[in-house]
Structure 1
Amino acid sequence: MNPNPRQLLLLQHLRAYSSCTLEELAVRLNVTVQTVRRDVQRLAEAGLLARFHGGARVPNSTTENIAYRQRESLNAEGKRRIARSVAQAVPNDCSLLINIGTTTEAIARALLQHTGLRVITNNINVAAILSRNERCEVIVAGGVVRPRDNGIVGEATVDFIRQFEVDIALIGISGIQEDGSLRDYDYREVKVSQAIIEHAREVWLAADASKFNRRAMVRVGYLGQIHRLFTDEAPPAPFPDVLARAHVRCDVS
């Protein structure tokens, strides 16, 4: 499904409070309980939240991400805004490392008018998008292709990434915790993302508002390793203070 603005707001409330009753959500959204019940039903069927009697909560799995097609449509407009903001900041004639994620794929689309880019990626979708730009060179990492999202992972991928030193790493993430840790689900993907962070002069994180306080099992790194964060909404408390302590520039689009 492609959640509408009201449903996206409902999901944001759940991420902020972990769980809410239908009545609480109705008051916060200024709609009827019947409307909330229908929204919760649809979002639960899409795997974006979990229902309980009289309310809803965020999915409690820290081990498995939601499906690629659901992630692709979730907050698609916010990801497009982030992508445009990142593309405006990326100069022509520079080198980039781009990792797996639907937000980084949106960034790839926004970079189609750039010239002189040299892009190394472990995301086949990113490579396919940017290969349409004849004024850029795209280098695809070797490794194991993950069928569910065309991501390339594994030790061979890590070894490949370690050959490079690029100007900017453009990375997505599954979750950002209050302790400043960056989280993801697949250990093999995390190892590649860590190599990408280590082999870039600057690291730019692209994460929509749903990623704040989202839980995931594996630690990729910390905000202190990030130079710029691009997001679509002002981060909720306590993240402004967390970002300030980590000296991360936050760009809200």
Structure 2
Amino acid sequence: MKRHQDILDRLAKEKHLEVLDLCEILNVSAVTIRKDLKLLEQKGLLYRTHGGASLDNPYINERTVLDKEKISVEEKNGIAQLAASRIVENDSIMIASGTTVQALSKYIKAKNKLTVITSSVHVVLHLIHDSNIEILQLGGYIRHSSASVIGNYAEYILKNVSCSKFFIGVDGIDLEYGLSTTNLEEAELNKKMLDAAQKVIVLADSSKFGKKSFARICDLSQVDEIITDRGISETNRKKLEEKEIKVTIVDEK
């Protein structure tokens, strides 16, 4: 059926599509689109999501930081380098765990003095040689798969600190579900880190859009900016900007 091929062709370009957008594009009802998506999913050609469809499985399984480091390396480095330009002189920032924010630490050059609060062991190891950077390593249990801290000790410290920016990497960004990660304790710590920051900046390559994982971090209303690569679909970009989220794309002219 031509309509089915149109859906698949658009998905190949957009990676994720909403039912309402397909209704408008193909001029058919939501009931018809949902039937189409169900049939195409049964054939193994796409995955249905809440309110839409995706070419990739929208549900994320946990992977180690070593595995993640090998994925979308060029995109992550570009995002990290751009994110580093957001740091100003005498700034006080917070950095979560994850390979994209870990890459950020490689590009940080302290302007006079910089204070960094982080849950990531790898971030500390990257920054420790710069005497202009004052580091507050959050304490607690180490989560082996992400080489980061989790638990009540870290959350207690965060009750007594504040910073200008929070740089966070995530496993999934869903327009309805929000930001998510694979570990519930890490999500809880991220919530506390988010509360201690004046501005929330998400660093995520385009493969993270339309995905959701077990542990929800926050609604998108709490996000100020998302820095990503050119693979983000125009639909996702438009909907994020409608939510008053600044979307910055690496290498965009």
On whether the aligned pair clears a TM of 0.5, the verdict is yes
Secondary structure in structure 2 of the residue aligned to 1:230 = strand
Q: How high is the sequence identity, in percent, across the aligned residues?
A: 21
Alignment of 1:7-26 (within 5 A): 13=12, 16=15
Which residue of 189, 209, 225 maps to 2:206?
209
How many angstroms apart in 2 are the aligned matches of 1:154 and 1:14? 41
State yes or no: 1:146 paired with 2:143.
Answer: yes
Instruction: Give the SS at the match of 1:134.
Output: coil
Distance in 1 between the 2:66 and 2:145 partners? Answer: 9
| Cα 1:134–1:187 shift into 2, 3 Å | same
Spell out the pairing of 1:118-197 with structure 2 (5 A cutoff): 118-179=115-176, 181-197=178-194
Q: State the shift of 1:214 in Å.
A: 1.7
CA root-mean-square deviation = 2.5
TM-score normalised by structure 1 residue count: 0.75
Q: What's the TM-score, normalizing by structure 2?
A: 0.75
Unaligned runs of at least 5 residues, structure 2: 1-10, 18-42, 47-54
Structure 1 residues without counterparts, runs of 5 or longer: 1-11, 19-52
Aligned partners of 2:218, 2:115: CA distance in 1, in Å?
Answer: 25
State whether structure 2 residue 93 is matched by structure 1 residue 96. yes
Q: Quick one: which amino acid aligns to residue 95 of structure 1?
A: S
Distance in 2, Cα, partners of 1:17 & 1:158: 35
Q: Deviations over 1:134-170 (max 9, x none)?
A: 1111110011001222110012211112211101111
Is this contact kept in 1: 2:241–2:247, CA < 8 A?
A: no
Change beyond 3 A, Cα 1:240–1:162: same
Aligned residues: 208
Pairing 1:111–2:108 present: yes
1:60 shift after superposition: 6.6
| Larger Rg computed on CA atoms | 2
1:15 & 1:143 partners in 2: Cα distance? 41
Amino acid at match of 1:169: F
- 1:204 to 1:54, Cα distance in 2 relative to 1, 3 A: closer
Which amino acid is the alignment partner of residue 154 of structure 1? G
Q: Secondary structure at the match of 1:89?
A: coil
Distance 1:113 1:96 in 2: 11
